[in-house]
Amino acid sequence: MTNIDSPAISETQAYVPSAIADAGFLRNLWYFALPGRELAKGQFKPLWLLGEPLLFGRTNEGEVFAIHDICPHRGIPLSYGSFDGREVECCYHGWRFGPDGRCTAIPSLVDGQSQLAREKIRVRSYICREVQGIVWVYMSEKPRAALDEASLPPPPALPEVTADQLQIVDTLDFPCYMDHAVIGLIDPAHGPYVHKSWWWRPGSSSYEKTKRFGPNDLGFTMLRHKPSKNSRAYKLLGGAPETEIAFRLPGMRIDHTKAGKHTLVNFTAVTPVSENMTRVSNLIYWTTPWLTALKPILRHFAHAFLQQDREIVMIQREGLKLRPSLMLIDDADRQAKWFYRLKKEWQASQAEGRPFANPITERTLRWKS
């Protein structure tokens, strides 16, 4: 595993890490791949994840699978070939592969030539699960054959929602290393500057916030609270909305708002494409029927919001080229510090073959935004 040089973490002081290394990804975790509805039966779609080319497909039976997008014969990406809902065919010499990666046909072989050799040929396959309208892929260190699939933890679950309540899907590629996109997700202090919009925050209002946080299985949760008075968008929900925001490794935020009997889940997943490209996906689920009438407007606002986060990353890229030292200051940056601690502990637990011990303890954070 590539070592990630996480900055030393001080809980009490501001500090200046020498650099945040832009290298390496956490393994043995579920990563968000794509919304299930982007893959119809008999279709396939190439997607790079963690610097590897994957080919996702959906069989005629509706099962989702993922295999390495490289033909083992001469290295042609299989995504240039075809898929009939049963087998993927390479465009160069027509070798065929099943959804489990096994080679099923080599057309150039004549009768009597070894089918035995063919049976040993396989493309790497990846463990996929489709839950709540999301295709998850387990990015392990070891090949699939070396894993005990039955003992894997399930992919992350979103609270209360089902696939048919998925209303808005948006994806943007951020030209940065994954960590910068993750920190943007859990950085409460950029709101009044980056997300300056009449519909989100009137004028330049900024308030002191006091929030209680606690650990969850793979991260931390901002415990249930009433949304801040200055976020108008939430008022549309009606009732007395209460929100809980969970952050989990490898990089996802689950924002769960309940208002009366209704639920809104705003899920953001950060998936590394490569070391300098990161895909940020935003999926919004709700159960409130009248919100559906507002879907085009909400989609527009959600996209504008994500676009603002992307723009700041584009600007940041100019500075990061010079590899400056970066700072994480006090409670406003506490969640970013926690992210680095979580990553470090995940790597240590994997390297030592022991269970993950969440280093976060319950505490209150205070900041102005």
178-185 helix and 295-320 helix, angle to the nearest 10 degrees: 130
**Shortest CB 308 distance to Fe ion, Å:** 6
Binding site for ligand FES (CB under 6 A): 71, 73-74, 76, 90, 92-93, 95
Residue 212, binding choice from Fe ion, ligand FES, none, Cβ under 5 to 8 Å by partner class: none
Instruction: Indicate the DSSP class of residue 153.
Output: P
- Region class of 142: left (phi > 0), else alpha (psi between -120 and 50), else beta: beta
Distance of closest approach, residue 94 Cβ to ligand FES, in angstroms: 6
CB of 144 to ligand FES, least distance (A): 21
Q: Tell me whether residue 70 or residue 284 sits nearer to ligand FES (CB atom).
A: 70
Kindly write out the interface string for residues 267-306 of this chain, putting x where it contacts Fe ion by CB under 5 A and - elsewhere: ----------------------------------------
CB 206 to Fe ion: min, Å: 15
Q: Quick one: what does residue 147 bind among Fe ion, ligand FES, none, with the CB cut-off 5 to 8 Å set by partner type?
A: none
Distance (Å) of CA 344 to CA 47, 159, 348:
27, 27, 6
SS3 301: helix
Residue 333 near Fe ion by CB under 5 A: no
**Could you tell which of ligand FES, Fe ion, none binds residue 303, using a CB distance below 5 to 8 A set by kind?**
none
Q: Which is nearer to Fe ion, 48 or 200 (CB)?
A: 200
The CB density around residue 280, as the number of other CB atoms within 10 Å, is: 25
Closer to ligand FES by Cβ: residue 73 or 86? 73
Q: Give the CA distances from residue 228 to residues 178, 235, 298, 319, 359, in Å, rounded to whole numbers and listed in that order.
A: 28, 10, 19, 32, 28
Sheet holding 262-274, edge to edge: 166-174, 277-286, 262-274, 252-259, 242-248, 219-225, 208-216, 363-368
Cα 124 to Cα 186: distance, rounded to the nearest angstrom: 34
Cβ distance to Fe ion smaller for residue 129 or 195: 195
Whether the CA torsion 296, 161, 148, 101 is positive or negative: it is negative
Q: In angstroms, give the least distance from the CB of 352 to Fe ion.
A: 35
List 87, 309, 331, 333, residue binding Fe ion (CB under 5 A): 309
